[in-house]
């Protein structure tokens, strides 16, 4: 069984730099720890993935908190996977993961520049070239098993582009890809 371990408290950034608000981080980690330990399912791996915190001067170092959140998400995802396997059986779990992977592969197989909806000519979205490069890597992962880690997707960042891909849609698909990667670990 995977143990949840979080290395809080974290180092703080200098007082003239911004970091995550320590109280907000600690409150979330306390809530996550309680949810994990009592098994209520109050929080899920998806909740950990989208956790965000206000920035404050002299706050916690963002990189170290983000790394801890990635480990925490992995622990929740492992627990969720084990629970699904116990409930539905390994064949159903593998089938569901395969179906989601095939849906993602179909999206990534679309022509470059057309894999996601556009933000609109006067709005800013994610750089189509940068998103397409990540989509190409994911397509190779799903088609041929070329390595891509959940951490690489969690930390993917894209420059803004007028008329680029809609950010919400790209983020949702990358979250689905992370779910599949964590499911097949």
Residue 40 has pLDDT above 80, yes or no: no
Which domain, by its residues, includes 156?
Answer: 91-183
Residues 11 and 19: their CA atoms lie apart, in Å, by 10
Mean residue pLDDT of the chain comes to: 88
**Does one domain contain both 100 and 128?**
yes
> Which residues, listed in sequence order, are joined to residue 124 by a DSSP beta bridge?
162
pLDDT single digits (tens) 114-169: 999 999 888 999 999 999 999 999 999 988 889 998 889 988 899 999 999 999 99
Contact between 83 and 48 (Cβ < 8 Å): no
Three-state DSSP class for 126? Answer: strand
- For residue 183, the model assigns a pLDDT of 79
- Is residue 5 domain-resident? no
Q: Where are the beta strands (DSSP E) in the chain?
A: 18-20, 55-57, 124-126, 160-162
Helices (H) and strands (E) in the chain, counts: 7, 4
**Does one domain contain both 97 and 120?**
yes
- For residue 3, the model assigns a pLDDT of 41
Confidence of residue 84 (pLDDT cuts 50, 70, 90): confident
Three-state DSSP class for 60? Answer: strand
- Is residue 131 domain-resident? yes
Closest CA to 174 of 108, 110, 77: 108
Number of domains the chain contains: 2
- For residue 6, the model assigns a pLDDT of 46
The answer to whether the predicted template modeling score (pTM) of the entire model surpasses 0.75 is: no
Where does a domain end: 63, 86, 109? 86
pLDDT single digits (tens) 167-181: 999 998 998 898 888
- For residue 107, the model assigns a pLDDT of 92
Confidence of residue 2 (pLDDT cuts 50, 70, 90): very low
Q: Residue 46: how many CB atoms within 10 A of its CB?
A: 15
- For residue 5, the model assigns a pLDDT of 41
- For residue 7, the model assigns a pLDDT of 44
- For residue 25, the model assigns a pLDDT of 96
Residue with tokens 């492992």: 78
């Amino acid at each position: 069984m995977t143990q949840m371990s979080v290395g809080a408290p974290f180092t703080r950034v200098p007082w003239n730099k911004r970091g995550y608000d320590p109280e907000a981080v600690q409150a979330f980690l306390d809530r996550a720890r309680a949810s994990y330990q009592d098994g209520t399912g109050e929080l899920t791996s998806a909740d950990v993935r989208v956790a965000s915190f206000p920035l404050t001067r002299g706050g916690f170092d963002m990189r170290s908190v983000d790394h801890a959140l990635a480990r925490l998400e992995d622990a929740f995802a492992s627990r969720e996977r084990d629970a699904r396997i116990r409930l539905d059986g390994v064949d159903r779990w593998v089938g569901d993961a395969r179906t989601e992977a095939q849906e993602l592969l179909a999206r990534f197989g679309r022509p470059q520049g057309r894999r996601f909806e556009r933000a609109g000519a006067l709005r800013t979205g994610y750089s189509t070239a940068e998103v397409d490069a990540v989509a190409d890597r994911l397509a190779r992962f799903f088609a041929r098993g070329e390595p891509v880690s959940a951490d690489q997707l969690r930390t993917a960042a894209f420059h803004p582009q007028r008329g680029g891909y809609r950010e919400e849609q790209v983020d949702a698909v990358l979250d689905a890809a992370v779910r599949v990667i964590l499911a097949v670990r």
